[in-house]
Chain A
């Protein structure tokens, strides 16, 4: 058993991959609690796709991909928030317009380059084994920023997630909290791109939190449980992908999906009244 667990760690790239997976899995699923409770699941998908334009622009300008993706992801996140608050369109419409526009810009710019050596597949589906030492430090640094910010905003985020109108009336700056969450979400998504890719990052944001929601009726427990489920799925999924020789991002997300359905069955048995008053 020990050999089974330690075998992947003989390779330095696997050590980096496990650390990255653990950080990204925990972070995505922790902030995902707010994504699920605020019904923002579409946002993760939107910001991830939009960041593709930043990757292409960074490639064309010879910049770090992370920098390009981060700038576009944050601008898109703030744009979504602005259009939703000030515009006359719903949030899902705002996301639909902005992310498809940004993604199309990325494809357009890429199609204009005659010969490119950008590894498109690694951004679409993730390449956690390719995480470099520098990438890992960047992931750890940005993850720390997100964790500290989430801790500082804990009460404001909780109150504005449950009852934004009353929270604002009581003097909490709901608008600032909303924008801050979107920026933190954008950072989380960008540092997760290499691990799970543009296509699958939304699943890592939503599925562990949705799983935790089936198992507890308390917010703090949901937050902790979601983070733990995300961490477990990331690490166990990476082990599975190592031994099954499968795509790591897809294996992690598949494991999270299986856990979700198990939790749904368990949750219904444990809390049969939970959904009694749910709005339909």
Chain B
């Protein structure tokens, strides 16, 4: 398997604040890597940096052997947390999912049958077919999250980055999402996902990374969960793995 993402000594700062401190990470194609850690530990920062949204202050970051911003359009699909957009925007579910095709289209290139088929497939995969004509402001939080994931799937990316996609979704949707992601991974798509849900990490991921601005542990979920690093994080989480918001600067 070749490396989809390779980070060495990756450091990211917000002004004087070090958000990520010399992080090493390797994600191979056909692998799902979970990132766990308390709030403010740099999980989302790591995803945004790999997505090319933030510039590293130091270290090496390669996505498919080059810098993220040098990749062809459509290579990376990023699913942020749902609060990020204005849900009163004039668009229905289909419109949002169809945006996933935009990076794949040239200027003025019309939406083809293939594009429509891919969008329909993404809607069906996320069980949004019945909601395709519904305005996005009329979706529940879980449905909004599914629409974001469907948009990412419609992009047919080479790398999928998911920022806590299970937040606010019901158990059935979470399981459907897990099966979908596992299916994509099985077909060779590398997936990097942040989560607070430590209890089901082994069901989701091939590899787990425990982060608190720096990497505390890395390996297969079972061994990481059994390690002291996991216990350290565990102390700062609620039941079912939801992290507390007051975990900045806790002793490691």
Contact = CB atoms under 8 A, between A and B. Distances in A.
B74 A162 contact: no
Contact of B73 (A171, A221, A222, A279): A171
Interface residues of B, number: 40
Q: Tell which of A163, A216, A278 has the most Cβ of chain B within 10 Å.
A: A163
B88 interface: yes
B147 to A, nearest CB: 11
Contacts of B90: 37, 213, 216-219, 221-222
B102 A218 contact: no
Nearest to B138: A273
B99 A171 contact: no
Interface of chain A: mostly helix, strand, loop or mixed? helix
Nearest to B96: A162
Contacts of A218: 90-92, 95
Given A171-B74, A218-B95, A277 B137 contact: yes
Interface in A136-181: 151-152, 155-156, 158-159, 161-163, 165-172
A170 B155 contact: yes
Contact of A158 (B51, B52, B99, B100): B99
Contacts of A171: 71-76, 103
B95 A219 contact: yes
Interface residues of A, number: 32
Interface in B186-240: none
B178 to A, nearest CB: 22
A114 interface: no
- Could you say which of A151, A222, A277 has the most chain B C-beta atoms within 10 Å of its C-beta? A277
Interface in B107-154: 107-108, 135, 137-138, 148, 151
A152 B135 contact: no
A155 B105 contact: yes
A189 to B, nearest CB: 24
Contacts of A276: 137-138
Interface of B: 48, 51-53, 71-80, 84-92, 95-96, 99-100, 102-103, 105, 107-108, 135, 137-138, 148, 151, 155, 157, 161
Interface of A: 37, 151-152, 155-156, 158-159, 161-163, 165-172, 213, 216-219, 221-222, 273-279
Given A165-B78, A169-B53, A170-B157, 19 more contacts: A151-B108, A155-B105, A162-B85, A162-B86, A162-B91, A162-B96, A163-B84, A163-B99, A165-B80, A166-B148, A166-B151, A167-B99, A169-B77, A170-B78, A170-B155, A171-B74, A222-B90, A277-B87, A278-B137
16 contacts: A155-B102, A162-B86, A162-B91, A162-B99, A165-B78, A166-B79, A167-B102, A167-B103, A169-B53, A171-B74, A171-B103, A213-B90, A218-B91, A219-B89, A273-B135, A275-B137
